[in-house]
């Protein structure tokens, strides 16, 4: 609680330019993300939503602007970003599990090496998380032996092993077969109901409507409209959002 209404991440004037200043992937984004909120970002491809998400933990380096996380401006060059990334879990479209490590080792390598947690403790916690997503029997398997949905569930619990304060999801279901989307969304729903702060870039409008506490519509590197799911889906204001919704719904 830092007085300012539980704001966990405060983004001010975030810009990301490529090719000098010719391509503006992000063009002045301002947003506050509060603890326990599930912010769902939607928008057409090329709207900058993935770039925005990846900027939050500086996988993309913003050209201008500030990101204040836990009261620290992580865009400041003097800040050790690695420490802050430990508190921001990230889930990727293509899972990015480590193929040379078993499921259990995938999950425990960061807690063991970075937080210096004893191996047995880290493994116990990892097994607990695997149990919760129904994959305890897969602990000794390698990622190549899992289905897409299983891989993504492992990727989620791998990030959770670091006990993050916020989880960033970058199109977590886009690379999955349709029948596997549900199992991943269920895990994310449970996570949301446990009060995890989440920022989710997705094309799953059903998920946005059901789980999102706030939906943000981006286009052209800007936030065009934001509000509660019912605001956005039932009562869109801007013509651009109306057009977008008419295509995807």
Partner 1 sequence: MSSVSAWFNGLWTDITLWFDDFSDDFYTVFIKKDRYEQMLTGLENTLIITLGALLIGVVIGIVVAAIRSSYDKNKESLKLHGGIGSFILSFLNFICKIYLTVIRGTPVVVQLMIAYFLIFVSVKDGVPVGIFAFGINSGAYVAEIFRGGIMSVDNGQFEAGRSLGFNYVQTMWYIVIPQTFKAVLPTLCNEFIALLKETSVAGYVGVMELTKAGNSIAGVTYNYFLPLLTVAAVYLVIVMILSWLVSRLERRLRVSER
Residues in contact with partner 1 by CB under 8 A are 57, 59, 61, 63, 77, 82-83, 85-86, 88-90, 92, 94, 96-101, 109-110, 113-114, 142, 144-145, 158-159, 162
Residue 99 or 178 with smaller CB distance to partner 1: 99
Residue 60 or 231 with smaller CB distance to partner 1: 60
For residue 132 the two structure tokens come to 């919760």
Q: Tell the smallest beta-carbon distance from residue 178 to partner 1 (Å).
A: 22
- Ramachandran region, residue 5 (left: φ > 0; alpha: ψ -120 to 50; beta: rest): left
Q: Tell the smallest beta-carbon distance from residue 12 to partner 1 (Å).
A: 18
Residue 85 or 138 with smaller CB distance to partner 1: 85
Q: Tell the smallest beta-carbon distance from residue 209 to partner 1 (Å).
A: 28
Q: Tell the smallest beta-carbon distance from residue 6 to partner 1 (Å).
A: 24
Q: Tell the smallest beta-carbon distance from residue 193 to partner 1 (Å).
A: 24
Residue 16 or 214 with smaller CB distance to partner 1: 16
Residue 164 or 236 with smaller CB distance to partner 1: 164
Q: Tell the smallest beta-carbon distance from residue 153 to partner 1 (Å).
A: 15
Residue 95 or 233 with smaller CB distance to partner 1: 95
Can you tell me the distance from the alpha carbon of 89 to that of 83, in angstroms, rounded to the nearest whole number?
Answer: 12
């Amino acid at each position: 609680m830092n007085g300012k209404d539980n704001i966990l991440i405060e983004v001010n004037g975030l810009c990301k330019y490529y090719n000098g200043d010719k391509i503006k992937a992000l063009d002045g984004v301002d947003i506050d993300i509060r603890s326990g909120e599930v912010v769902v970002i939607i928008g057409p491809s090329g709207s900058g939503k993935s770039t925005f998400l990846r900027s939050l933990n500086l996988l993309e380096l913003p050209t201008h602007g500030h990101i204040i996380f836990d009261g620290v401006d992580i865009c400041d060059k003097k800040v050790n970003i690695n420490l802050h990334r430990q508190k921001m879990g990230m889930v990727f479209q293509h899972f990015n599990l480590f193929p040379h490590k078993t499921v259990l080792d995938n999950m425990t390598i960061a807690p063991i090496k970075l937080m210096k947690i004893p191996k047995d403790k880290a493994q116990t916690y990892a097994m607990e998380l695997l149990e919760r997503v129904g994959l305890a029997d897969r602990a000794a398997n390698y990622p190549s032996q899992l289905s897409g949905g299983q891989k993504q569930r492992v990727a989620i619990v791998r990030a959770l092993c670091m006990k993050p304060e916020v989880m960033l999801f970058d199109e977590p279901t886009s690379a999955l077969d349709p029948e596997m989307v549900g199992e991943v969304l269920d895990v994310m729903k449970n996570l949301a109901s446990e009060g995890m702060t989440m920022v989710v870039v997705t094309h799953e409008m059903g998920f946005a409507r059901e789980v999102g506490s706030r939906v943000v519509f981006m286009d052209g590197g800007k936030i065009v409209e934001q509000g509660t799911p019912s605001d956005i889906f039932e009562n869109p204001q801007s013509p651009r959002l109306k057009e977008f919704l008419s295509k995807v719904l």
